[in-house]
């Protein structure tokens, strides 16, 4: 039995967990003799610490977004080679010892990191020759932050060709170890959205605030005119307060949903709508791009999402409505102007044209190769 360890960081449901679950689901359906185990690394180290850190994170980005973005951009985004020697350095030996104990207990054949911090710790262990277990970095944003382990990591599943070039030129990583997979999404989302023929009215918009139900969803409705042109499905995630408030409106054209865990159910909802309005989180955006649905944003979290938005805007993959007094005119233009829609579809196709293979196909090849090596050792 081949054992694969998948490492996000926090307990709270994020894109790191979503990608981890997607890859685990694929591997367990593809290989009968592969056992996958997902462990959020911070909880493994200390559950109380994980709870405090995740609560502080959510409180910080909600109450002081500008300061969070400044700190993130200063310490996480640029390529600071001195990052290892400042700030986190006194704490890293603690996490190294925890990671060594985890590896001794689980004895994995392969490790997949969907968060940068476990990757950083594993790189340090590899440099010290404390582990030889192959590690795959699976990036869940449209950029590579400076915490990820890089040179000593065995494989990199990157979001686009620019990221591959960055790893090759800055870190001199062998091209064969870097695969442009895009940000992984469940296979349920890989079939393109089939647009209904004719002009259907009202347009159906999906509002997605992430698993935490964040985003200026209430403010969005204040800036819409509630015209007969639109009806709405609203993903409230685990934000019960938001769900209850929308449900109390009893508006015939606004339908709230709580957290949807099933990819198949989520895909059915994507197939019903004409466009998606969401925060620029890497995984949700990738799902929508696979469906080739027009994509809008009205808000974004500081740090990762703000940097994702810069990439997406530069390539014309998202329409940023932030700062507009009213949203309706821009949305109607994108949904009714055939020239604008074709331009958007062309930009989406250009993005996907650089994908070398899906994360699932790349992972299948790597696992099969290590299975052969593993079996050869026991002959």
Per-residue pLDDT tens over the stretch 309-320:
999 999 999 999
The pLDDT-based confidence of 65 (bands split at 50, 70, 90) is low
H or E, element range at 34: strand 34-38
Residue 79's pLDDT is 52
Kindly give, in sequence order, each residue whose CB lies less than 8 Å from that of residue 279, ignoring residues fewer than 6 positions away: 208, 209, 210, 214, 215, 297, 299, 300, 301, 305
Q: Is 378 or 338 the better-scoring residue by pLDDT?
A: 338
Asked if 232 contacts 207 with a C-beta cutoff of 8 angstroms, the reply is: yes
Q: What is the largest CA-CA distance in the chain?
A: 71
Q: Is 231 or 228 the better-scoring residue by pLDDT?
A: 231
Residue 220's pLDDT is 80
Kindly give, in sequence order, each residue whose CB lies less than 8 Å from that of residue 247, ignoring residues fewer than 6 positions away: 256
For the record, the structure tokens of 370 come out as 């290590």
CATH code for the domain defined by 2-182+355-377? 3.40.50
The CA-to-CA distance between both ends of the chain, in Å, stands at: 15
Tell me: pLDDT of 300 over 90. Answer: no
The pLDDT-based confidence of 47 (bands split at 50, 70, 90) is confident
Residue 64's pLDDT is 59
Q: Is 76 or 276 the better-scoring residue by pLDDT?
A: 276
Residue 218's pLDDT is 76
Collapse the DSSP code of 137 into the 3-class scheme (helix H, G, I; strand E, B; otherwise coil) and give the result. strand
The pLDDT-based confidence of 322 (bands split at 50, 70, 90) is confident
Tell me: pLDDT of 167 over 70. Answer: yes
Where do the structural domains in the chain lie, given as residue ranges? 2-182+355-377, 187-353
For the record, the structure tokens of 158 come out as 């990157």
Record the pTM: 0.89
The pLDDT-based confidence of 84 (bands split at 50, 70, 90) is very low
pLDDT > 70: percent of the chain: 82
Tell me: pLDDT of 197 over 70. Answer: no
Q: Is 93 or 215 the better-scoring residue by pLDDT?
A: 93
Residue 74's pLDDT is 58
Mean pLDDT lowest among 36-40, 99-103, 208-212, 252-256 = 208-212
What Rg, from alpha-carbon coordinates, does the chain have?
A: 21
Instruction: Give percent helix, percent strand, percent coil of the chain, each to the nearest 5.
Output: 50, 15, 35
Is 187-353 the same fold as 2-182+355-377? yes
pLDDT > 90: percent of the chain: 61
Question: Directed axis angle between helix 116-127 and helix 92-106, to 10°?
Answer: 80
Fold of the domain spanning 187-353: Rossmann fold (3.40.50)
Residue 304's pLDDT is 86
């Amino acid at each position: 039995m081949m054992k694969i360890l998948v490492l996000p960081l926090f307990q709270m449901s994020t894109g790191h967990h979503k990608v981890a679950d997607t890859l685990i689901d694929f591997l367990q359906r593809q290989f009968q003799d592969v056992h996958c185990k997902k462990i959020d690394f911070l909880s493994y180290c200390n559950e109380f610490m994980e709870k405090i850190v995740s609560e502080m994170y959510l409180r910080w980005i909600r109450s002081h977004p500008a300061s969070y973005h400044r700190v993130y951009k200063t310490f996480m985004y640029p390529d600071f080679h001195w990052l290892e020697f400042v700030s986190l350095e006194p704490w890293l030996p603690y996490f190294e010892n925890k990671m060594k104990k985890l590896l001794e207990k689980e004895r994995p054949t392969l490790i997949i990191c969907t968060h940068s911090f476990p990757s950083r710790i594993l790189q340090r262990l590899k440099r010290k020759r404390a582990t030889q277990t192959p590690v795959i970095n699976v990036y869940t944003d449209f950029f590579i932050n400076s915490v990820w382990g890089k040179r000593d990591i065995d494989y990199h599943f990157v979001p686009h060709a620019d990221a591959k070039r960055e790893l090759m030129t800055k870190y001199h990583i062998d091209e064969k170890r870097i695969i442009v997979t895009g940000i992984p999404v469940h296979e349920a989302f890989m079939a393109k959205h089939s647009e209904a023929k004719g002009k259907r009215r009202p347009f159906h918009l999906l509002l997605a605030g992430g698993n935490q139900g964040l985003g200026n969803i209430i403010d969005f409705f204040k800036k819409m005119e509630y015209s007969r042109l639109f009806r709405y499905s609203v993903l409230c995630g685990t934000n019960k307060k938001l769900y209850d408030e929308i449900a109390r409106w009893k508006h015939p054209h606004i339908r709230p949903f709580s957290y949807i865990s099933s990819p198949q159910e989520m895909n059915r909802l994507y197939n019903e709508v004409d466009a998606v309005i969401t925060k620029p989180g890497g995984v949700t955006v990738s799902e929508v791009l696979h469906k080739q649905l027009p994509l809008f944003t009205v808000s974004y979290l500081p740090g990762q999402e703000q940097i994702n938005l810069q990439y997406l805007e530069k390539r014309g993959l998202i329409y940023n409505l932030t700062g507009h007094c009213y949203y309706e005119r821009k949305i109607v233009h994108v949904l009714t102007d055939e020239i604008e829609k074709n331009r958007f579809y062309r930009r989406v196709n250009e993005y996907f044209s650089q994908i070398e293979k899906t994360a699932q196909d790349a992972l299948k090849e790597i696992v099969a190769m290590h299975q052969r090596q593993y079996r050869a050792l026991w002959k």
